[in-house]
Amino acid sequence: MLPLDSIATVNISTTKDFNTDNDFPPLFGAIITLSDSEGNSEVLAQNSDGLYVGRKIRGRERKTYNLHIEIDGKIYTSVSTMPQLVKLEKINLYPIPAFDYPVPQIVFQDPKGEDNYYRAKLYLNQTRMDIGGETIDDEQRDGVLIERVLPVFDNDQENSRKLEKGDIVHVEFQCLDKGAFTFFDTYAQMGMSLNNPTSNIQGGALGYFSTYAVDHMQIVADWDW
């Protein structure tokens, strides 16, 4: 992945059977080349944690990036264009009548006249929360002020609990291209499907390549009811 104003990082691992554990050791020995639409190119170096990391190419809005991976005699490629940054306007606390606590809600202005795709990651006190679906698009909402609830519920599942007063509510708001959006959107629906998420990597790999503009905002949770 390649965030705005940051260098690239790529993680490669092998898939496992559904019933095995979720430990995915990194694969070593890949040759990964990242290039951009201005003719810049670099080979990513693998660090001690197994991540392949860039050094000079940084994410910029409206630029297109090409990823080329060679490993075990196979070639995998992907292309991603970083969208324009859309900033959050605010985070609200939205009351739900059935509960004695509110849930976070983000508000942002969608740019008019273009297709836009977003992903909102929610953290409470630096712990990422499971909010079901993180993806947002502007289908039938082009150019309007979008308000999106990020539900947190106490359902006894890992990374799920109700909001409490004093919690630090932090949102990482990503502006994605369509390929990365489709991957995350179909990934969120895997519980209702036997299919894998739709990858934007050519060559048969399961995964995604995302260049994204990103904004951050946080508040301290408090309410008077």
From first to last of its 225 residues, the chain has per-residue pLDDT tens of 999 999 999 999 876 554 555 567 888 999 999 999 999 999 999 999 999 999 999 999 999 999 999 999 999 999 999 999 999 999 999 998 888 899 999 999 999 999 999 999 999 999 999 888 899 999 999 999 999 999 988 776 777 889 999 999 999 999 999 999 999 999 988 766 668 899 999 999 999 999 999 999 999 999 987
Question: In whole angstroms, what is the distance from residue 83 CA to residue 115 CA?
Answer: 10
**What domains appear along the chain, each with residue ranges and CATH number?**
2-81 (no CATH), 88-196+212-220 (2.60.40)
Q: Residue 121 has what pLDDT?
A: 97
Cα 172 to Cα 74, 151, 214, distances in angstroms: 34, 15, 7
DSSP H/E element including 180: helix 178-188
Chain centroid, CA 120 distance in Å = 7
Instruction: State the pTM of this model.
Output: 0.92
CB neighbourhood size of 158 (10 A): 6
pLDDT score for 192:
62
For residue 63, what pLDDT is reported? Answer: 97
Classify each residue of 121-137 as buried b or exposed e, where b means 16 or more C-beta atoms within 10 Å of its C-beta. bbbbeeeebebeebbbb
Q: What is the pLDDT of residue 175?
A: 98
